[in-house]
Structure 1
Amino acid sequence: MATWGTRGLRGSTLEDLINHTNEKYRDMGLALIQKIPTPIKPINIDKESRHITLAYFDQKSTVDYIGAVQGIPVCFDAKECVTTTFPLHNVHEHQMTFMEEFEQQGGISFIILYFTGLDELYYVPFRNLKEYWVRGKNGGRKSFTYEELDKSYRIFTRQGAYVHYLEMLQKDLESRD
């Protein structure tokens, strides 16, 4: 697990660590994963510094990351949770639709979930996320708990990759055969 001293991931963001991991994967020739910027529409721009001072989100984004791992298309979102219960409203309908359509096209979709209070990272396969999502849509609990997760999908730091999710991607692929 990536830790900065004894403070877990504090002082850095999950996305920063994933970005670093993706750079490492690219350098090693393992994967090419890109961070997808959220489209914004600038409203005010400071003419002197040329900085945007006011903007709004132009459209709904899909997922945080998209790319290929050894020829396999992948897309995923990075999420954080302070407690041991993850509210499904943190995954939007358009994201679920995109991930499902991505899988229908032969890609692999998942989320990387960081439980900040536990300092633990998990790979949550789309099929599991969808199961929780459908449960919520059908009147069941609109969240899932740490206890519900398959702990064998825990992500660790390995070989300089802070969020070494490729091992869990391999596990996901093997479970599909």
Structure 2
Amino acid sequence: MGYWHTRGLRGSVLEDLINQSNHYYMAHGLAVMQKIPTAITPVELDQQKGVIKLAYFDAKSTVDYVGNVQGIPVCFDAKETNLKNLPLYNIHEHQVAFMDAFQKQDGLTFLIVYFKQTDQYFLLPFEVLMHYWNGAKKGGRKSIPLSAFDPQYLIHSEGSIQLHYLEALNRYLVNLNKGGQ
């Protein structure tokens, strides 16, 4: 079983931005997305601060978010990297298996990736993830380079939405309908 310690909230800034976007999307009837909590069992508590200092994960989580975007079932995971690539060790086999099964049920799956070095957010389609995932299994590259992230899926802010990922998702869907990516 994995243990959670102070590094357990590494993606919290990215997830906070996504949560704020999701709140806006729901309030404006654009999407209904839910953050899937990771089940943990506390081992050590700081009674004075009222926080968990050490815990273990009860079960493997699937993805960070599941929901529906205007009639399309969607699931995605949020990832951050300090590098100019996304190491595949940041993505777990059970997450890929869940996204694959979700996609096979006519759902739409992707990652939202934050590159801290360049301060850029991207939507990474599942097909691109699988290309690198399968290549790594065959002895190929063990990361997805920043150059593999399509600039048209760069996620921008707009108005009060700091991370307007539905725009990038819409561009992806338009490209899918055109028969390309």
Deviation, 1:42, is 3.1
Report the equivalent of 1:5: none
Deviation, 1:169, is 1.2
Distance 2:48 2:161 in 1: 40
RMSD after superposition? 1.9
Structure 1 residue runs of 5 or longer lacking an equivalent are 1-11
SS at match of 2:95: helix
SS at match of 1:38: coil
Deviation, 1:159, is 3.0
Deviation, 1:14, is 0.8
Report the equivalent of 1:125: 125
Report the equivalent of 1:64: 64
Distance 1:109 1:73 in 2: 9
1:80 paired to 2:80: yes
Report the equivalent of 1:29: 29
Moved more, 57-66 or 42-51: 42-51
Distance 1:144 1:64 in 2: 20
Structure 2 residue runs of 5 or longer lacking an equivalent are 1-11
Structure 1 residues 131 and 28, CA gap change in structure 2 (3 angstroms): same
The count of residues paired between Structure 1 and Structure 2 equals 166
Distance 2:25 2:110 in 1: 18
Report the equivalent of 2:110: 110
Deviation, 1:77, is 0.7
SS at match of 1:77: strand
Structure 1 residues 55 and 150, CA gap change in structure 2 (3 angstroms): same
Deviation, 1:150, is 1.1
SS at match of 1:127: helix
SS at match of 1:13: helix
Deviation, 1:176, is 2.4
Distance 2:62 2:21 in 1: 21
| Amino acid corresponding to residue 59 of structure 1 in structure 2 | A
Report the equivalent of 1:16: 16
Distance 1:96 1:110 in 2: 10
1:142 paired to 2:111: no
Distance 1:82 1:55 in 2: 25
Distance 1:21 1:27 in 2: 10
**Do the aligned residues in 1 keep the contact of 2:152 with 2:171 (CA within 8 Å)?**
no
Report the equivalent of 2:155: 155
Distance 1:143 1:49 in 2: 38
Q: TM-score, normalised by structure 2?
A: 0.85
SS at match of 1:110: strand
**Do the aligned residues in 1 keep the contact of 2:103 with 2:109 (CA within 8 Å)?**
yes
Q: TM-score, normalised by structure 1?
A: 0.87
